[in-house]
C-alpha cells in the first residue's frame, strides 16, 4: 500500500528533528512539545503518528531492519547474476566484491542509510554516552542478518551468532569511526570497508 506523501514528509521532518535534538540531549530528555516544534508540526499531528518520543526511535529501527532485509535479498540476487556472468566467461572488475554476494551494493546502500540519517550517526561517532543507541542499532543489523541466514552449514548456532555480532558491530564501528576521525578520503574508506566486510562475511558463512 502506497504511503501518503504528506505523512511521509511529516515523519521525515520528525526524524530529522529527533536526531537533531538527540545531538544536544538524551532521548529521555526530549519532550513531545519541543520535538513537534522542531519538526514544525503541532502536538496533535505528532500524536496522530506516535504516542511517545521513544516511538520515533522504535519506528526508525524497524525501518532500518526492513531496509537491511531488503538489501540482503538484493545482494544475493545481484551476486547470483554476477556469478552467472563470470561463469559465462565475462571479465568483471572487483569480481570478489560482486559475486556470489554483491558487497559493493551492500556497502553503498548501507552508506546511503547513514547519509540519510547523518545527525544520528554523528551523535554515535562522538558521544560515548550514546552507547545504548549504537548497541540498539547494531542489534537491528545483527537480527536482520540472522533472520536472513538462520543456519550456516558447519557452524553451530552460537558460533554463527558470534560471527554475526562481529559483522554487525564492526560495520557500525567502521562508519562511526570514519565519521569521527576521517583519516582518509571517503573513496579510500569505501574500498577498505568493502574488503573488510567481504572477509568478515566469509568467516561467518
pLDDT, tens digit (0-9, with 9 covering 90-100), for 17-61: 998 898 888 889 999 999 999 999 999 999 999 999 999 999 999
User: Mean pLDDT score of the chain, rounded to an integer?
Assistant: 91
Question: Can you give the pLDDT at residue 1?
Answer: 47
Buried b (16+ CB within 10 A) or exposed e, 30-47: beeeebbebbebeeeebe
How far apart CA 155 and CA 152 sit, in angstroms, is: 6
Distances (CA, A) of 23 to 9, 33, 53, 95, 145: 22, 17, 15, 40, 29
Look at residue 119 and tell me whether its pLDDT is greater than 70.
yes
Look at residue 204 and tell me whether its pLDDT is greater than 70.
no
How far apart CA 68 and CA 55 sit, in angstroms, is: 20
Written as nine digits, the cell of 15 is 526524524
Nearest Cα to 77, choosing from 94, 102, 95?
A: 102
Q: What does pTM read for this prediction? A: 0.87
Written as nine digits, the cell of 155 is 557452524
Amino acid at each position: 500500500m502506497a504511503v501518503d506523501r504528506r505523512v511521509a514528509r511529516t515523519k521525515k521532518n520528525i526524524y530529522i528533528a529527533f536526531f537533531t535534538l538527540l545531538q544536544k540531549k538524551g532521548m529521555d530528555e526530549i519532550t513531545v512539545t519541543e520535538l513537534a516544534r522542531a519538526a514544525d508540526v503541532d502536538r496533535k499531528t505528532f500524536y496522530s503518528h506516535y504516542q511517545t518520543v521513544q516511538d520515533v526511535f522504535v519506528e526508525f529501527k524497524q525501518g532500518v531492519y526492513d531496509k537491511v532485509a531488503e538489501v540482503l535479498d538484493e545482494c544475493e540476487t545481484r551476486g547470483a547474476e554476477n556469478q552467472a556472468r563470470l561463469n559465462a566467461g565475462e571479465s568483471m572488475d572487483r569480481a570478489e566484491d560482486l559475486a556470489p554476494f554483491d558487497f559493493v551494493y551492500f556497502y553503498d546502500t548501507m552508506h546511503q542509510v547513514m547519509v540519510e540519517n547523518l545527525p544520528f550517526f554523528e551523535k554515535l561517532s562522538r558521544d560515548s554516552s550514546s552507547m545504548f543507541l549504537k548497541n540498539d542499532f547494531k542489534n537491528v543489523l545483527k537480527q536482520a542478518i540472522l533472520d536472513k541466514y538462520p543456519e550456516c552449514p558447519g557452524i553451530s548456532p552460537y558460533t554463527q551468532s558470534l560471527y554475526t555480532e562481529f559483522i554487525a558491530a564492526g560495520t557500525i564501528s567502521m562508519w562511526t569511526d570514519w565519521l569521527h576521525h576521517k583519516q582518509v578520503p571517503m573513496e579510500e574508506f569505501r574500498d577498505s570497508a568493502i574488503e573488510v566486510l567481504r572477509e568478515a562475511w566469509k568467516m561467518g558463512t
